[in-house]
Amino acid sequence: MKRIVVLISGNGSNLQALIDSVAAGVLDVEIVAVVSNKADAYGLTRAQAAGIPTEILDLGEVLADGGSRDGFDVELAGMIASYQPDLIVLAGWMLILGEGFLDRFPDRAINLHPAMPGAFPGTDAIRRAHEAFQRGEIKRTGVMIHRVVPEVDAGPVVTMEPVPIFPEDSLEELEERVHLVEHNLIVAAVDLLLGDYED
């Protein structure tokens, strides 16, 4: 069975979508580890509840111990490599990964971005899309999953889906609609890249 490692920084609802799809037999992969850069990420609790091994590597602690940003990337890559993943899924991972990481896993990491390609890179993408809609600058938003490159929320697109915005939408309503699409699209992307349709 194909092996994935999931990287998170917080709530982990996208991780939960993957866990649920694996449990339901919809996604035929094994989540071999969940790695967080935050010790208090709720996604770690979700992973533990599903019996998935967890790891924590905190950038602040690495730097406080005299390490470098590149050293963090190299250490993270080594930690993940020990699980021999076929695919690394960044699902709400809030740090840029540099060459110390990507050199070890060229083309093997994907990231989820709650906006369309090229739109609203960085944090708060849904809020910024909501504001842009209210200013009449955009008509819709979306979700994309892309290969990870050393640039925030950029890289070759694996799959994407537009998400409508309605004039009466509150930010919370738009967030909920985007998250629902994310939860489906992340499962679809992993299936697209690792699914075995031979049998």
Residue closer to ligand GRF by CB (options 13, 21) is 13
Residue closer to ligand GRF by CB (options 43, 100) is 43
Q: In the set 6, 22, 97, 112, which binds ligand GRF (CB under 6 A)?
A: 112
Who's near 166: CB < 8 A, 6+ residues apart? none
d(C-alpha 147, C-alpha 182), whole Å: 16
92 is an interface residue for ligand GRF by CB under 6 A = yes
d(C-alpha 43, C-alpha 7), whole Å: 10
52 is an interface residue for ligand GRF by CB under 6 A = no
Q: How far is CA 84 from the centre of its chain?
A: 18
Who's near 48: CB < 8 A, 6+ residues apart? 54
Q: How far is CA 110 from the centre of its chain?
A: 7
6 is an interface residue for ligand GRF by CB under 6 A = no
What's phi and psi for 100, nearest 5 deg? -55, -25
**Chain residues 177-196 in contact with ligand GRF, contact rule CB under 6 A:** 182
Respond yes or no: is residue 113 known to be catalytic: yes
85 is an interface residue for ligand GRF by CB under 6 A = no
36 is an interface residue for ligand GRF by CB under 6 A = no
Contact range with ligand GRF by CB under 6 A, out of 11-19, 64-72, 77-85, 96-104? 11-19
Active-site annotation, residues: 113
